Amino acid sequence: MAAKPFNPFEMAQRQFDAVADKLGLDQATRDLLRHPLREYHFGIPVRMDDGAHKVFRGFRVQHNDARGPCKGGIRFHPQETVDTVRALATWMTWKCAVVDIPLGGGKGGVICDPHNLSEREQEAICRGWVRQVAHNVGPIQDVPAPDVMTHGQHMLWMLDELEVLRGGKLPGFITGKPVGMGGSLGRTEATGYGVVYTIREAMKDLGLDFKQATASVQGAGNVAQYAIDLFTQLGGKVIAVACWDQADQRAYTYRCEAGIGFGQLMAAIDKFGTIRADRAREHGWERLDADAWIAQPATVLIPAALDNSVNADNAHKIKPTVKILAEGANGPTTPEADKILEGKGIFVIPDFLCNAGGVTCSYFEQVQCNMNYYWERDEVLQKLDTKMTNAFRAVSELGRKRKVYTRDAAYMIAVARVAEACHLRGWV
């Protein structure tokens, strides 16, 4: 019998169910938080450059807005599914709650491949997406942001479309915008830096010396890039990076015992976060199989690419040297793998805490836009460090106090905060 396909939303619900039991939530609260409050599914008709017309499928899922407007990225991906968007919207609710910012969870997506679309076609998709949900998003309803294969220019096209439809300036509608057009300094680095802020705090808890630490990273996109940047700035060494190869349509791991620096990485990748094989050879990097990143003798593993990356099939490959697994991606570790990691004594920094730097800095951008006053980069990053450190300390202390796994501790804090907001509003 064929194995059942991986479903990220089912995984998100399983994670929630386990914590709901620990918190003793009543049935109505469970029913409310286990599913999104609302979903939008729509078609986006676009006239292509060759004159033909094509309809792209789009989604926006608003999981919960009890603590504030929904917040979450918009992904462009050829394998996008509504269950992926549902899972990510759910995790965004917990992510905003665990770092204690006044926002809820949302997520959006379009089934498309930007690799095969012109700039004009991508702009048409962006504007079409906004037209379909213009009455259901906005600064006080739902605030999108970039995600997989979207960036600041996409956000600006979306902002412009909503402002045309609404007849006014609404810079707080969307985050991840270019600096000078309502974007925040520090936003580009925020998610990757946030990952490393939590790694730094975990190392303090475990008594590890950052300057002796090594890391193996899955991914070469924005999150991975800036995690590598700060990890090396703090004295650590990155010995391996895995990423998708667009030309070969498969993934590889690139390894260098001497270390892979941020400058070298940026010189080796293209605009889609793909390491070019010819440039890797110039740096003397060894090319290995896709899953080799997880089997490196590193101190820290950083899955910063896709969900379902650490699973029952590969978690046993993790070396005894690994002390920390920092989830830069959303949903990279399956519940089955969690049991293996716990058995190995690996300190897991769960995704919705570890990668919350992005949404935290997006919140800062939203605040700056709404008050029309912008902070300097160092101030943004200092505020981000404070938020991430405080959130990590709360999760770490609860984990020790209740003797629970770090993912459970993070969930317990986040779910309890959202449940309380729902109760105070009288929803349940």
Q: Which residues are catalytic?
A: 107
Angle (CA) 360-428-34 rounded to 5° is 55
* Closest C-alpha to 196, from 175, 220, 217, 179: 217
User: Residue-wise over 90-112: b if at least 16 C-beta within 10 A, else e?
Assistant: bbbbbbbbbbebebbbbbbbbbb
End-to-end CA distance of the chain: 42
Number of H helices, E strands in the chain: 14, 12
Give phi and psi for 402, each to the nearest 5. -95, -5
* Closest C-alpha to 412, from 336, 350, 344, 345: 350
> Do the beta carbons of residue 352 and residue 95 sit within 8 Å?
yes
Taking the C-alpha atoms of residue 119 and residue 390, their distance in angstroms, rounded to an integer, is 41
Which residues 6+ apart lie within 8 Å of 101 measured at CB?
Answer: 68, 359, 360, 363, 387
CA dist 181 → 145, 160, 210 (Å): 14, 11, 37
Which residues 6+ apart lie within 8 Å of 136 measured at CB?
Answer: 38, 40, 60, 62, 142
* Closest C-alpha to 201, from 354, 410, 407: 354
103: left (phi over 0), alpha (psi -120 to 50) or beta: beta
Taking the C-alpha atoms of residue 62 and residue 44, their distance in angstroms, rounded to an integer, is 19
Taking the C-alpha atoms of residue 286 and residue 303, their distance in angstroms, rounded to an integer, is 19
Taking the C-alpha atoms of residue 6 and residue 304, their distance in angstroms, rounded to an integer, is 18
Taking the C-alpha atoms of residue 385 and residue 198, their distance in angstroms, rounded to an integer, is 9
